[in-house]
Structure 1
Amino acid sequence: MAAPKVLISDKLSDAAVQIFKDRGIEVDFRPDLGKDKEALAAVIGDYDGLAIRSATKVTEKLLENAKKLKVIGRAGIGVDNVDREAASKRGVIVMNTPFGNMITTAEHAIAMMFAVARQLPEASASTHAGKWEKSKFMGVELTGKTLGVIGAGNIGGIVCNRALGLKMKVIAYDPFMSQEKADKMGVEKVELDDLLKRADFITLHVPLTEQTRNILSREALEKTKKGVRIINCARGGLVDEQALADLLKSGHVAGAALDVFAVEPATENVLFGLPNVVCTPHLGASTTEAQENVALQVAEQMSNYLLDGAVENALNLPSMTAEEAKVMGPWVKLAEYLGSFVGQMTDEPIKAINVTYDGTVSKMNLKALDCAVIAGIMKRTNPDVNMVSAPVIAKERGIQISTTTQDKSGVFDGYIKVTVVTDIRERAVAGTCFSDGKPRFIQIKGINVDAEVGQHMLYTTNKDVPGIIGKLGTLLGDNKVNVANFTLGRAAEGGEAIAIAYLDAPAAPEVVKELEGTGLFQQVKPLEFNVA
């Protein structure tokens, strides 16, 4: 059998190239090819693997020429330059290296905090210009100040640790961080409004999602204490840049340090030129050590997959062998759907996740299924999480994971039940795979149902009284929302009842508000599932 062939189309270190060679993989190192999309498209069909950084754009059009391609390895965490959906449809695994630049990014946030506290860039420029304006640049100490950390995951956790070493008081807002984890880290777990009111410095370490977009909105920024300083080394779009500029001009915000912007490359921005605003061109991961680490990691991961079939840090495939994938595919998808359901339904921090495997599924690769469940739960707040990194993130947040197996105990040959535990409730959902391979929800909150999983769904709860179904159907129809499938269930006559509608299009916010306004429903929740 011919040796696998890998193309490196961006700049990777010589040591990374050597890893491929030492493993017996044929490698072409063409670090400038990624900038020429036509030239890349002309040769991509010859390769089993493609190793990239950010310059190479892996589009659907490029993938049409990649007939042999099995794996794409991104040296770094961000994969915005890869069309993951197109890659998945073509059976191409997309890997990244999510943990190689954590320390570097955290250190950059700390450096930016020092820079804005002491006005270092402006003082340096002034001194370079031959001025000696010692009295102009009056700074503030970090010692004793309160640092508000929004997002206490991998990078945010490191920032917390470093800040405690600087003798700062650290408060953290992270909906998925348990109290036990906060206690272990030595930080105070708070709600966002409390953080805004108390923090002298605020640093962001969350991904950009619909939930986090403009998390520091104008309204949020106006709640901060006068003299606050804002640091963002996470993602552009987390801060309302115009609002921040206005509050900097008014003096409410004393300073800001940003490594990321809503539009990049940022050649112009409303914040540019303002006093005591430190800006860097997305340098969070730009250290020699980090770039070397992610390059070596991606070379090892790709080699392991191409030679041994091992899957590590894949964004679109769980860890399993090729033989297992044939049998487990539908069950893996079901596990992710069940996790996604409870993840979307749960707003408060999750303390524990229990997964029960019954019947035939209890004999399968449960580690891969566990990872699929956890990834489904975590994707609500971190869309880039994968089935390898999800358990690590859950562990770092202090979430307890337990698994139970049992012999066939009901009418189904096998099923999976996912239960999440928070400080105020338990929430459970179960599902199975029918003979056609299609996943189904079969029980929610202990109520039996039979619901086909669709991309757009609407979940409601209500008391079992006449007229609910008619009102729901009429209101959806009046708003031109077409129902593809509809399932009902109830605990007992006159008791709690639920409905799940599989829709052709998402239920708009105004439709949800109209349903809530009827007073008939205890809960109205739109749900979205990644149905391939």
Structure 2
Amino acid sequence: MAPKVLVSDKLSPTAVQIFRDNGIEVDFEPDLGKDKVELMKRIGEYDGLAIRSATKVTEKILENATNLKVIGRAGIGVDNVDLNAASRKGVIVMNTPFGNSITTAEHAIAMMFAVARQIPEASASTHAGKWEKSKFMGVELTNKTLGLIGSGNIGSIVASRALGLKMKVVAYDPFLSEERAAELGVKKVELDEMLAQADFITLHVPKTEKTAGMLDAAAIAKMKKGVRIVNCARGGLVDEDALVEALKSGHVAGAAFDVFAVEPATDSPLFNLPNVVVTPHLGAATTEAQENVAIQVAEQISDYLLNGAVTNAINMPSITAEEAPVLSPFVKLASHLGAFIGQMTEEAIESVNILYDGKVSEMNTKALSSAAIAGVMKAQNPDVNMVSAPVVAAERGIQCSTTTQEKSGVFDSYIKLTVKTAKKERSIAGTVFSDGKPRFIQIKGINIDAEVGRHMLYTTNDDMPGIIGTLGQTMGESDVNIANFTLGRSEAGANAIALLYLDAQPPVPVLEKLRQTGMFQQVKPLEFDVE
């Protein structure tokens, strides 16, 4: 029986035809996604679901998806899909992360021109029969400095276009290496330096705990007077209230926003301010982009349903059905190793090496390496998945390499991840025990045996009495339960580490209390995606 796919959003007819050409039965019902009750009744009929943003794939809908194997999102954002519920149900979720990059980059450039020359206001004035030439005095882009926040796929395209306009480009991106910056023709700088230099600032980063509100009142105060800010990335990256005050005071000369803290944005503090250009999240809204992502998602869903190939999956590795039982525990291990290093590293990464020792060296190390690299990069970019991680790493000039060797220690298999930055080198190793659970077995060259938990606390210190007592007492006083406690040291009186597996992450005051004891060189809370 041929697979059956539902298209519940407005996708290009070309995409629908791709399903049919591949021998897949397809129902094209572009308004069904808006009707949750009807979708819940019908979803059980289908093997695949192709959507855009209107369809909300909730846990309740997935409970009724008795035959569903794959969801394909035409676009990058999957906020409208309950990923945890899909994973528990065994449903693969795919996206198309690169289909609208040029379109979004071009929109940012267009918004920059619009705010520089006050085009929307001048157009409205002229349509009204006025002729106010002197009112709309603009500024040139040529020889101005563009501050780029985020130099990934979209940011690098914006940089290229800006350089073509004879602008100078300075970029802030923790993952941008000096080599990649030189290749792009931009100058890598720290955030404060970029804020002080830029005449225009454009953002191209995802919204995470680190980036949310990154351009707040304090950051805006560090900007050059007369700066213009463009945001076509994610709402909430800029403190809208602080920006309004800076616009009213004249410190910020203009702003152009395609995204807002709350969407749909029907009432924003940015509305109706002079020299503020706003559009309703049009970054990906071109005929070409819509066609590209629709075609990509149709091809990906078809390829999976017919051949078992997994492309751009958010919630599973690119592995075959035959490999899965053996490889999956090591995929989790590789991801955890990467997540540990990623959360520990804030400076630009220059290189990543993954060593496979013993039996694991004979497995599908490409999938394992993708899992490790994705783990490293998710700390800064949660949109990265196993498929896109190597591409994103290459865009940032990160050199990724692998080494394989025959069994060299007490473990049948282990993976060691080493990351280099301009300042230091970090390494961590792990293995999978017979129970199928990943373990950390070495950090900084210090041997340990640590189970991986969702909430963990990592500390470093000089080996001395009292460390265990201090950690235990501080956690106990704060009602934070320790599920597991692992210690290691290089030698007596030398470098030592502790890794605590906790039932809940300790509050910030608790971490500060540990730091203030003066006993620890490092106190770092860690989070891992553990089922």
- Return the TM-score normalized by structure 1: 0.99
Cα-to-partner distance string for 1:352-409 (whole Å, 9 max, x where unaligned): 0000001111110000000000000010011111100000000010000110001111
**Residue 220 of structure 1 pairs with residue 219 of structure 2:** yes
Give the count of matched residue pairs.
Answer: 531
Q: Which amino acid aligns with 1:115?
A: A
Separation (CA, whole Å) in 2 of partners of 1:290 and 1:468: 56
**Residue 444 of structure 1 pairs with residue 443 of structure 2:** yes
Partner of 1:460: 459
Q: Which amino acid aligns with 1:189?
A: K
Residues 28-47 of structure 1: matches in 2 within 5 Å? Answer: 28-47=27-46
Separation (CA, whole Å) in 2 of partners of 1:446 and 1:181: 30
Q: Which amino acid aligns with 2:463?
A: D
Separation (CA, whole Å) in 1 of partners of 2:217 and 2:234: 17
Partner of 2:241: 242
Aligned-residue offset at 1:14: 1.1
Residues 390-401 of structure 1: matches in 2 within 5 Å? Answer: 390-401=389-400
Q: What SS class does the counterpart of residue 14 from structure 2 fall into?
A: helix
Q: What SS class does the counterpart of residue 282 from structure 1 fall into?
A: coil
Partner of 1:342: 341
Partner of 2:200: 201
Q: Which amino acid aligns with 1:319?
A: S
Cα-to-partner distance string for 1:238-294 (whole Å, 9 max, x where unaligned): 000000000000000000000000000000011111100000000000000000000
Find runs of 4+ consecutive structure 1 residues off by over 4 angstroms: none
Partner of 2:492: 493
Partner of 2:331: 332
Cα-to-partner distance string for 1:477-510 (whole Å, 9 max, x where unaligned): 1011100000000000000000000000012111
Partner of 1:433: 432
Q: What SS class does the counterpart of residue 170 from structure 1 fall into?
A: strand
Separation (CA, whole Å) in 1 of partners of 2:81 and 2:501: 30
Q: CA RMSD in A?
A: 0.5
Partner of 2:155: 156
Q: Which amino acid aligns with 2:298?
A: A
Partner of 1:528: 527
Partner of 2:295: 296
Separation (CA, whole Å) in 2 of partners of 1:285 and 1:351: 31
Aligned-residue offset at 1:468: 1.0
Partner of 1:474: 473
Cα-to-partner distance string for 1:286-315 (whole Å, 9 max, x where unaligned): 000000000000000000000111000000
Separation (CA, whole Å) in 2 of partners of 1:435 and 1:465: 34
**Residue 145 of structure 1 pairs with residue 144 of structure 2:** yes
Q: Which amino acid aligns with 2:464?
A: V
Separation (CA, whole Å) in 2 of partners of 1:182 and 1:408: 39
Structure 2 unmatched runs, 5+:
none
Q: What SS class does the counterpart of residue 268 from structure 2 fall into?
A: coil
Aligned-residue offset at 1:326: 1.2
Q: Which amino acid aligns with 2:453?
A: G
Separation (CA, whole Å) in 2 of partners of 1:141 and 1:13: 39
Q: Which amino acid aligns with 1:306?
A: L
Aligned-residue offset at 1:424: 1.1
Q: What SS class does the counterpart of residue 323 from structure 1 fall into?
A: coil
Partner of 2:61: 62
Separation (CA, whole Å) in 2 of partners of 1:53 and 1:148: 32
Aligned-residue offset at 1:178: 0.3
Partner of 1:502: 501
Separation (CA, whole Å) in 2 of partners of 1:263 and 1:331: 40
Residues 175-190 of structure 1: matches in 2 within 5 Å? Answer: 175-190=174-189
Residues 50-129 of structure 1: matches in 2 within 5 Å? Answer: 50-129=49-128
- Return the TM-score normalized by structure 2: 1.00
Separation (CA, whole Å) in 2 of partners of 1:228 and 1:220: 12
Aligned-residue offset at 1:176: 0.1
Q: What SS class does the counterpart of residue 348 from structure 1 fall into?
A: coil
Partner of 2:418: 419
Q: What SS class does the counterpart of residue 298 from structure 1 fall into?
A: helix
Partner of 2:517: 518
Partner of 1:9: 8
Separation (CA, whole Å) in 1 of partners of 2:257 and 2:157: 18
Partner of 2:273: 274
Q: What SS class does the counterpart of residue 201 from structure 2 fall into?
A: strand
Q: What SS class does the counterpart of residue 373 from structure 1 fall into?
A: helix
